Amino acid sequence: MTWTSQFLTKCFTAFNGLRIVWSGICIIKMIEQCQCCGTEFRRYNGTFKSGPNYILSHDNRTVTQCSDGWNTVAIGNEPIPLGTITIIKFKIEKTIYSHIMFGIAPLSIDQKLVTGYSKCGWYYYSHNGGLYCQPQLSYSNFKFRDDSQLPEGTIITMIVDTTIGKISFKINDSLIKTAYQVTFPESIAPCIMLYNKGDSVRMLQN
């Protein structure tokens, strides 16, 4: 498949020198190859699992918080394959103060877990650009970006390179920035946590 003019064809240097086209994901094939350097990457083909304290859209791609508090844990329904570079895109559909965590967690995470961002997984906080994660790193509002209350319509792109254990983020058209380098458990999936009732996030298909 060739890239058309609507796709971004410029490569960004990241992940120990690998050059990857982060945008321009094929909407038909799960696996694509960068024409500039040959690096293969894939888009996440799953959706969200159902769970407590939130409702899902008919296609299971939009999560809406239905009770205030850090008690909404929406996890993907399919694991991210190990040995791959996987891209997941989210859109903030509705928010009050952008109290939303975007990240990766074990597929087995307890969906009733309160303040799970400090106990299970690795997250980016769209309210202030901080990082939160589980032990052993135990980040708690570790300064990562200068973002402040990302508004509705913001696109958060998450790049998960399981070949070397890196999680990176791209906010709208900003440069990609690596947040974590960790050892992943066997089964991980995209995970979001929302605080305010009525806030909603959509997992995009492309």
pLDDT at 39: 66
pLDDT at 147: 84
Residues of the chain with pLDDT > 70: what percent? 81
**% pLDDT > 90, the chain:** 72
How confident is the model at residue 30, as a pLDDT?
Answer: 55
Handedness of CA 140, 145, 148, 149 (dihedral sign): negative
**pLDDT tens, 67-98?**
999 999 999 999 999 889 999 999 999 999 99
* The pLDDT of residue 94: 98
Q: Are 51 and 73 in contact (CB under 8 A)?
A: yes
**pLDDT exceeds 50 at position 16:** no
Model pLDDT for residues 28-52, shown as the tens digit of each residue? 345 666 666 566 789 999 999 999 9
Of residues 198 and 25, the one with the higher pLDDT is 198
- In angstroms and rounded to an integer, the radius of gyration of the C-alpha atoms of the chain is 16
- Banded pLDDT at 122 (limits 50, 70, 90): very high
Average pLDDT, the chain: 85
pLDDT of residue 19: 38
**Beta strand pairing status for 85-94 and 155-161?**
antiparallel
Q: What local confidence, expressed as pLDDT, does residue 169 receive? A: 97
Residue 186: pLDDT band with limits 50, 70, 90: confident
Pinpoint the alpha helices (H) of the chain: none
